[in-house]
Amino acid sequence: MSREDDLSFLAPPGEVADWRMVATFDAAAEAGLFEQLPATPAQVASRLGLDERAVRILLGALSVWGVVEKHAGRYSMHPDWSCDQGEAATLRHHARVLRTWSTQLGDRLRGTPPSPSKIPPERRRLWLEALAASAREQAPLVVETCLKRFPNVRRVLDLGGGHGEHARAFARRGLSVMLQDTEPTVELLKESELPSSGVELFAGDFFEVLPNAQFDLVLCAGVTHTYDGERNRLLYRRIASILASGGGLAIITFLPEQDPRASIFAVQMLAVSAGGDAHKEIKYREWLEAEGYRAPEIRHLSNTANFLLLTSRR
């Protein structure tokens, strides 16, 4: 095969991350096609009020990647397609990233910032589900590593806790846990089983309000890279006011010196945030030091591109 064939959109189907499958899967999932199977394209189209040709073409393409299979004119999910809810959400979030990168990067290069948009609840739910799928795997190691470094922790704040996987993992260890996130995310969490698993919820922008309590550990997972240096420093200053004496701050983020995926992730921060970046380790050291924290100890969260920075007040 020629180099052009490799590079063109007609390259042979590759891995799960093949953008063609990602985009096709997302469109089919969004329209609710999979819930209608087994069925013929005509049946799917008529039940969902969709265009029959479009349904036929999407299902035909999805059969190439082994998502669905066709027998006697009827499509069904392929028996080998073992994509759970978290993996499906990951694929769908990937599709959103594709759309964002392909439409936004030119504007960012010209200096136009992303427009602040209200995320519809369904999209927020999918995004959180995708983040939860990867956090679920790393959460036990995060808890283990934090408690080894700060063995006297009793009260934990999961700041920007999102889906709540880290909070849940701390609560399972019998600790008292509060999760703070923005109002729309906390509204979604209220409908989940998180409150009944012992995690207290607190809604509000952490630059404006923090819980009126003291914590032995504040976890900032996946939060600091969404802001610039000035905001990071402000955040660490604000956290200092709610850290109990001897309390710890744990930051989970990407470090470009340690893993090249950080530099790719930085493109996503460029696309969707005003000042976010995969900040360098030296920057975190500088900001933490300037706000009165000790030099962070750095741990790799194995099998991920994430690093844990552990520090406390000087």
Ligand X SMILES: C[S@@+](CC[C@H](N)C(=O)[O-])C[C@H]1O[C@@H](n2cnc3c(N)ncnc32)[C@H](O)[C@@H]1O
Task: For ligand X, give the closer residue by CB, 52 or 187.
Answer: 187
Task: For ligand X, give the closer residue by CB, 187 or 286.
Answer: 187
Regarding 207 and contact with ligand X (CB under 6 A), the answer is yes
**Distance of alpha carbon 111 from alpha carbon 251, whole angstroms:** 29
**Neighbouring C-beta atoms of residue 152, cutoff 10 Å:** 11
Give the total of residues touching ligand X (CB under 6 A).
17
Regarding 276 and contact with ligand X (CB under 6 A), the answer is no
Task: For ligand X, give the closer residue by CB, 70 or 155.
Answer: 155
Q: Tell the burial category of 4 from Cβ atoms under 10 Å away from its Cβ (0-12, 13-18, 19+).
A: exposed
Contacting ligand X (CB under 6 A), which of 161, 247, 248, 296?
Answer: 161
Regarding 222 and contact with ligand X (CB under 6 A), the answer is yes
Candidates 102-110, 112-120, 222-230, 266-274: pick the segment binding ligand X (CB under 6 A).
222-230
Contacting ligand X (CB under 6 A), which of 160, 247, 276, 296?
Answer: 160
**Distance of alpha carbon 287 from alpha carbon 253, whole angstroms:** 15
Regarding 206 and contact with ligand X (CB under 6 A), the answer is yes
Regarding 308 and contact with ligand X (CB under 6 A), the answer is no
**H or E element in which residue 68 lies:** strand 68-71
Task: For ligand X, give the closer residue by CB, 184 or 198.
Answer: 184
Contacting ligand X (CB under 6 A), which of 21, 33, 55, 131?
Answer: 131
Selection from 251, 240, 243 nearest residue 216 by Cα:
243
Candidates 1-9, 38-46, 97-105, 216-224: pick the segment binding ligand X (CB under 6 A).
216-224
Chain positions 162 to 191 lying near ligand X, rule: CB under 6 A, are: 162, 180-182, 185
Selection from 220, 297, 301 nearest residue 261 by Cα:
301
Regarding 137 and contact with ligand X (CB under 6 A), the answer is no
Distance from CA of residue 132 to its chain's centroid? 7
| Distance (Å) of CA 132 to CA 48, 136, 274 | 30, 6, 24
Residues 31/95, Cβ–Cβ less than 8 Å = no
Distance from CA of residue 77 to its chain's centroid? 27
Minimum distance from residue 167 beta carbon to ligand X (Å): 9
Task: For ligand X, give the closer residue by CB, 36 or 180.
Answer: 180
Q: Estimate the crossing angle of helix 261-272 against helix 85-109, to 10 degrees.
A: 70
Residues that bind ligand X (CB under 6 A): 131, 135, 160-162, 180-182, 185, 205-207, 221-223, 226, 252
